Structure 1
Amino acid sequence: MKLECQEKHSEIRNGEIHVYAWFFNRNVYENNTNVITFNKIKSERSGKYTCVARNKAGFDSDAVNIIVTYPPIVWTKDITFNGINRPRIIKCNVSGVPNTYNITWRHYTNNNQLVRVFNNRINGVLILPEGETNDLVFEDSGVYRCNVTNGIPDESGNLWQSKKIQVKVEGKPVLAKPLKSTFIGHFNETSSISLFVLSSSNVTQAEWKAAENRNSLGHGCCSSTVNKTSFNGKCLDMSGYTCVFLIKNTREEDFQNYTVDLINKNGRNTFDISLISSGVPEVPSITDIYQRQNYIVLEWKPTFDGGAPQGFIVQYRKKKDKNWESIRIQSNETNDFVYISKLKPDTEYELRMLAFNRLGNSSFTVQFTTLFKGETKDVWTQFNLFLCIPIVLPVCLFVFLLWYRKVLHDGIVTMTKVWLLDTISIFLVTEMTYIPR
């Protein structure tokens, strides 16, 4: 960029200009020529430039304001909240010309998974949504990326400038979502209670107690791990701690309520846990039975699996039969419906089902009765048979007779053609009188 100071008239009446002086924002700018050249314009060059010219007759001056546009410069700093901070405010500092910005925020987990997006922020201040205090102890933690544009690209052509903020929430340990407080144990086997815990610092201790008498059952350490959990309504991989309590040779009295105290440097949190015995699954719930072409569809909703992988058995029979036909659905199949085929049309069928696991079977559901009608006829075909023929044929016959009379009147038909036309007329009349039953 070049600034040039020159006289207004081509001829100077009072002699040549002997001295040039420049001022930048009222400060002397070191240059005694009539031209200032900027090889690389920078934002700090913005301001008021004044040129003063002097000769033996006196002096004159002129000024110009230079505005240098430049992309946003973004700076941030990491922040730590405690468990009770409300509201939680994160700030993104920005400078740029023009100073009108479009700012978006993106929240990531510490494992770089996108959690949520906040759009159309203008002033660089993000106020995090508030909910229940206990729910938001750690769900606001993670990495926040502030993305800013003012429409001016940088030297690489990028319109958006970005900086990240590490947000940490200090607080007592909490159980990850979805909260699980009931665990399944197995009689005479090793039963396990495993908790996934979110914490801002190492969970230094887990103390297990029997809920009834508060007797201590032992202390255990928690190991750091990554697990899937519900975080701001999404299922994400989160860093946390797994705390495990093992009960070997589980006896009947071990199926009871427990408490666990989880401890980190911010304090202690206590949670109630129950261990229940595994057993046979509960009866599944049949939700719908309907017919599709040449088969019946039965849909159901699984219920409690008894603490072990479950499968299902669907049975059906003709209403008057004694013996049942069975369809076995393996526990590794995920579809909660089954197709029942090879059925006899216009026949009533009875249906029922049960669930099973390695410990046994549930009871059967109630029996359902449904009429299998068989494969349905095409509606358009029925329409042709019962409606089209009686209507269309008389119309065709009427048009044909009109044409036939015209041909006879014109006298241009040979005897062979007349015989052929008579035959067609008889056929049409015969067809018109036929109506399918």
Structure 2
Amino acid sequence: MAGIDSDSVTIEVYFPPTVQIKFEENRTERQLNCVATGIPDLYIFKQWEHWSEYSDLIRYLPDSGSGNLNLQIIEGETDRYQDRGIYICKASNNVSLNGGDSFIPGEFFLNPKSTPYFVTSNNKTQYGVLGQTTNITVDFVSFPEIKNISVIFDGIIHSIENYTLEIMKVMDTVYNKTVFVNGSRLMMTVEVNTERDFKAYTFKLCNQIGSDNLTISLHSASCPETPEIIQIMPEKTQVIVQWIPKFHGGFQQSFHIQYRRRDVQYWNTKHVQDHTMNIYSIDGLTPGTEYLIRIYSSNRKGNSSFSDKKPFRTDATNEHGNLGFILLIVPFVIAVAVLYWQYKKGKFFF
């Protein structure tokens, strides 16, 4: 009845920001912009984080204070594939809910298109076994997907027929950090039939952006092949054995000669450490006795099979020994005779 009065109250509600990342790209750089929306609209930004797809932290990147991140060109890295991954920015307006962290994260997955590349974890030296099937394995990353795969060996480009391709996580070094990334594994089957199959194989991968290549050297990693005895020369108390070395299996090999009397089961062994030797003398044998002899070789992977057992019989007489004595003494006698003749002629002075 007396009248009406009114007043107004302004209530300002604070709430933490929502954070999004906007991406821009040009020929010189990639730019990530951290866009925060909240009240109040005054924001603090933390340093950026760069993660792999498999939650491996790659690096921290400084923020300019404005929430913007520029990824500059790295000298020598024309495709900038190392920039690939998840980028996280965190912004705060000093408002938190229920006393929690006031910094709110935003994420962006950067997956730039580039030429394919082989990851750093590839083993450029791989091994096979002579006479067996082996697989040469290479890991790579390619976005977009591979359009063509070829392999070069013996100076000729070959299309690959016997291979498998599997998408999987592979290990790589990104900005000097070893992490897992999303990639692929290529396995090519090789029939190792001869020693000539142990050689260099260059893999070439192509997508719609470009190509890359990697050379793998296939080495042997097997036990050596069995050497072959080609000659046995028995004397009265010794025997000289000669053999032909076979394929070494990819490593330095040594030879082992075993011998025994025919009426004894125990084998005596002589080790020939010098891998360049293929002839050896065994002493201390019994004259006029039958023996068996065999040989095998070894390397760091193991031993070859034994060669066939070869029989021989030592001499009952010392014919070879006498012959050796004659071969030694005759040149001495001749030398003495020549010196005496020169002395008599006056052509030699002491």
Q: Same fold, TM exceeding 0.5?
A: yes
Q: Which residue of 2 aligns with 1:41?
A: 12
Residue type of the alignment partner of 2:9: T
- Tell me by how many angstroms 1:159 deviates: 0.9
| Residue of structure 2 equivalent to 1:276 | 219
Q: Aligned pair 1:76/2:21, yes or no?
A: yes
**1:212 aligned to 2:155?**
yes
Residues 40-95 of structure 1 show CA distances to partners (whole Å, capped at 9, x for unaligned) of: 534xxxxxxxxxxxxxxxxxxxxxxxxxx65444222466x69xx53222111234
Aligned to 1:139, the other structure's residue is in SS state: helix
Residue 32 (structure 2) pairs with residue 107 (structure 1): no
Picking from 107, 124, 129, the partner of 2:67 is 124
For residues 311-333 of structure 1, give each alpha carbon's deviation from its aligned partner in whole angstroms, at most 9, with x where no partner exists. xxxxxxxxxxxxxxxxxxxxxxx
1:251 to 194, 213, 219: 194
Written as runs of structure 1 = structure 2, the 5 A alignment for 1:391-410 is none
The answer (yes or no) to whether the contact 1:208–1:218 under 8 Å persists in 2 is no
Are residues 115 and 265 of structure 1, via their aligned partners in 2, closer, same or farther at CA, if it must alter by over 3 Å?
A: same
Q: Residue in 2 aligned with 1:415?
A: none
1:94 is aligned to 36
Aligned match of 2:103: 160
Partner of 1:63: none
Q: Contact 2:122/2:139 (CA < 8 Å) preserved in 1?
A: no
Contact preservation (8 Å) 1:177, 1:231: no
CA contact (8 A) 1:176 1:230 kept: yes
Tell me the residue number matched to 2:84.
Answer: 141
Structure 1 residue 174 and structure 2 residue 117: aligned?
Answer: yes
Partner amino acid, structure 1, of 2:300:
N
Shift of 1:109: 1.2
- Which amino acid is 2:190 matched to? I
- C-alpha distance in structure 1 between counterparts of 2:157 and 2:88, whole Å: 47
SS at match of 1:128: strand
**1:104-156 CA-partner distances (Å, limit 9, x unpaired):** 21111112222212245411111235434448632211111111123332466
Who wins on radius of gyration, i.e. which is larger? 1
Question: Residues 195 and 242 of structure 1 are in contact (CA less than 8 Å); yes or no, is this contact kept in structure 2?
Answer: yes
Q: Is the 8 A contact 1:210 1:216 kept in 2?
A: no
Give, in whole Å, the separation in 2 of the partners of 1:121 and 1:103.
10
Q: Equivalents in 2 of 1:211, 1:99: separation in Å?
A: 66
Q: Distance in 2 between matches of 1:260 and 1:180?
A: 13
SS at match of 2:83: coil
Q: 1:249 to 1:256 in 2, by over 3 A?
A: closer
Q: CA deviation at 1:195?
A: 0.5
Structure with the bigger RCO (C-alpha within 8 Å, sep 6+) is: 2
Compared CA separation, residues 199 and 214, structure 1 to 2 (3 A): closer
Whole-angstrom distance in 1 between the partners of 2:98 and 2:29:
38
Structure 1 residue runs of 5 or longer lacking an equivalent are 1-15, 19-32, 43-68, 281-305, 309-355, 361-437
8 Å Cα contact 1:98/1:150 also seen in 2: yes
Q: Structure 2 vs 1, CA of residues 238 and 124 (structure 1 numbering), >3 Å: closer, same or farther? A: same
- 1:78·1:166 contact (CA, 8 Å) conserved in 2? no
Letter in 2 for 1:131: I
Question: Which whole-Å CA distance do the structure 1 matches of 2:140 and 2:62 have between them?
Answer: 31
State the distance in 2 between where 1:134 and 1:219 align. Answer: 33
1:35 Cα offset (Å): 1.6
| Alpha carbons 2:150, 2:160 under 8 Å: kept | yes
User: 2:329 maps to what in 1?
Assistant: none
Describe the superposition over 1:372-405 as per-residue Cα deviations: whole angstroms up to 9, x where unpaired.
Answer: xxxxxxxxxxxxxxxxxxxxxxxxxxxxxxxxxx
Which blocks of at least 5 consecutive residues in structure 2 are unaligned? 224-248, 252-298, 304-350
Partner of 1:198: 141
Q: Does the 8 A contact of 1:138 with 1:199 survive in 2?
A: no
Q: 1:72 to 1:133 in 2, by over 3 A?
A: farther
Q: Aligned letter for 1:171?
A: S
| CA distance 1:185–1:123, change in 2 (3 Å) | same
| Contact kept? 1:203, 1:241, Cα under 8 Å | no
1:208 deviation in Å?
1.8
- Cα 1:227/1:191, change in 2 over 3 Å: same
The answer to whether the Cα contact below 8 Å between 2:163 and 2:189 also exists between their aligned partners in 1 is: no
CA 214–170 in structure 1, closer or farther in 2 if over 3 Å, else same:
same
Root-mean-square deviation (Å): 3.5
**Aligned pairs, number:** 231
Q: Is 2:232 the partner of 1:261? A: no
